[in-house]
Amino acid sequence: MGEMMNVMKKKEEVKNREDELDEMLVEIDLSKRNVIEMEKQVEFKEKIIQIHETNMNKAWAELEMKSKEASSVEYSIVKPEPWSDDGSYADIRFSVTMDGNSLLLYLINHKGDLDSMSDEVYEALGKSKEPGKLVLDALQSFYSKKEAEEFEEDVVCRSTSLLLEQLRRISPHIQSYHKRAALKLASQWKEKMKSSKEFIVFLQLLASYKLESSFHPEEFFSLFEVINQPTEISELFQLLNYMGKVNGQVNQQHEKT
């Protein structure tokens, strides 16, 4: 009887161990499946990351290409029929790819045609993807060209004013970083101005890049003694909403002329 009980007890122990082993096998199998599932998820996420990286690299390459394209403006060659016996043309066309500096030089070199080139400059700036940047690039060399012996100060100022006037005419959206750069440039110019011609270009800069709120007209009172073009100055003051504060000064200049 005792032996029978021992045999049954051992059988029960064996069965319990078998059950435990079965449970362990089930857990191991479940763990394997979890590991496999996790590996699949990791692999899937890696593929997603690779796709994102590829798209980002592609987008970055496109952005760089657009940035390079925006740094220059292409103008088509248009040759109208000669209007005079000497073969000159009624319209001058921009015939090369120009950056801002080249565009300003082109205008300076065609000083005799500046008064009739407004529409052409307007059209040229309209073709630029970033006209605000194009003109800003041209403005960087304003003082160096104005002070250079090979250029006439009046021509440099008129050419620069023409660019700024036509930029304002197309009313582009000026990027905030271009506006900050224009403000920095205007602050530098304010300390250099000595003539009415420079002052007019300065006011054109404020108007074209909408910087009027960054300056107070009282800062310019010391320049009135050298200003000899009150009409143009007055028009720009009105455009900048400065007229109320400087009306007395402008009237004094009118009385002197």
pLDDT in tens, 175-201: 899 999 999 999 999 988 888 889 899
Q: Which helix (H) or strand (E) holds 145?
A: helix 142-146
Lookup result for tokens 């002052």: 199
User: What is the band of 173 on the pLDDT scale with cuts at 50, 70, 90?
Assistant: confident
Q: Is residue 196 within 8 Å of residue 153, measured between CB atoms?
A: no
| Residue 1 counted as domain residue | no
| Residue 7 counted as domain residue | no
Q: What is the pLDDT of residues 55-114, one digit of tens each?
A: 777 777 777 666 555 444 333 333 333 333 443 333 345 544 678 888 899 899 988 989
> Does the pLDDT value for residue 23 go beyond 90?
no
- Say what the pLDDT of residue 27 is: 77
**150: helix, strand or coil:** coil
> Does the pLDDT value for residue 2 go beyond 50?
yes
Q: What is the domain range of residue 165? A: 72-79+88-181
Indicate the residue type of 22.
Answer: D
- Say what the pLDDT of residue 229 is: 55
| Residue 168 counted as domain residue | yes
For 81-221, list the strands marked E by DSSP: none
Measured N-to-C along each axis, helices 196-208 and 176-190 cross at an angle, to the nearest 10 degrees, of 160
- Say what the pLDDT of residue 186 is: 94
Specify the pTM: 0.59
Q: Is residue 213 within 8 Å of residue 238, measured between CB atoms?
A: no
| Residue 145 counted as domain residue | yes
| Residue 123 counted as domain residue | yes
| Residue 35 counted as domain residue | no
CA pair distance 257, 58, nearest whole angstrom: 63
> Does the pLDDT value for residue 12 go beyond 50?
yes
Measured N-to-C along each axis, helices 131-139 and 153-170 cross at an angle, to the nearest 10 degrees, of 160
- Say what the pLDDT of residue 134 is: 92
| Residue 115 counted as domain residue | yes
What's the structural domain count of the chain? 1
User: What is the band of 242 on the pLDDT scale with cuts at 50, 70, 90?
Assistant: confident
| Residue 138 counted as domain residue | yes
- Say what the pLDDT of residue 168 is: 93
